Amino acid sequence: MTRVLFVCTGNVHRSVLAERLLAARLPPGSAVRPESAGTEARPRPGMEDSTRAVLEKLGGDGSGFAARPLTAELVAGAALVLGLAIEHREAAVRLAPSAMRRCFTLKEFVRLAVGDEARGGEAGGEDAPTAQGGVPDGEGPRVVDGFDVVVAAAAGRRGAAAPVSSVEDDVADPWGRPHPVLYGCAREIDGAVSTLARLLGGGASV
Q: pLDDT tens digit string along 91-145?
A: 999 999 999 999 999 999 999 998 755 444 443 333 333 323 333 334 445 444 5
Single out the residue of 188, 199, 126 nearest to residue 157, CA to CA. Answer: 126
Q: Cα 79 to chain center, whole Å?
A: 10
Mark out the alpha helices in the chain (DSSP H runs). Answer: 14-25, 49-57, 72-77, 86-95, 106-118, 131-134, 147-158, 166-169, 179-200
Q: 29-33 long-range contacts, Cβ below 8 Å, gap at least 24?
A: 29/202, 30/202, 30/203, 31/1, 31/2, 31/144, 31/202, 31/203, 32/1, 32/2, 32/4, 32/144, 32/147, 32/200, 32/202, 32/203, 33/1, 33/2, 33/3, 33/4
Cα distance from N-terminal residue to C-terminal residue, the chain? 17
In the DSSP assignment, the letter for residue 69 is B
Residue 77 has pLDDT above 50, yes or no: yes
Question: What 3-state class would DSSP assign to 18?
Answer: helix
Mean pLDDT, the chain, integer = 86
pLDDT interval class at 181 (50, 70, 90): very high
Which region among 6-20, 135-149, 154-168 has the lowest average model confidence (pLDDT)? 135-149
User: Can you give the pLDDT at residue 202?
Assistant: 55
Q: Report how far residue 206's alpha carbon sits from residue 201's, in angstroms, rounded to the nearest whole number.
A: 6
Single out the residue of 183, 175, 195 nearest to residue 40, CA to CA. Answer: 175
- The two beta strands, 2-8 and 66-67, are unpaired
Which region among 44-48, 87-91, 122-126, 149-153 has the lowest average model confidence (pLDDT)? 122-126
Which region among 38-47, 115-124, 173-182 has the lowest average model confidence (pLDDT)? 115-124
Instruction: Tell me if 171 sits within 8 A of 107, measured CB to CB.
Output: yes
Q: Which range scores top for mean pLDDT: 32-46, 153-167, 190-204?
A: 32-46
User: Can you give the pLDDT at residue 3?
Assistant: 97
Within 13 Å and on the Cβ side, how many CA atoms surround 172?
A: 11
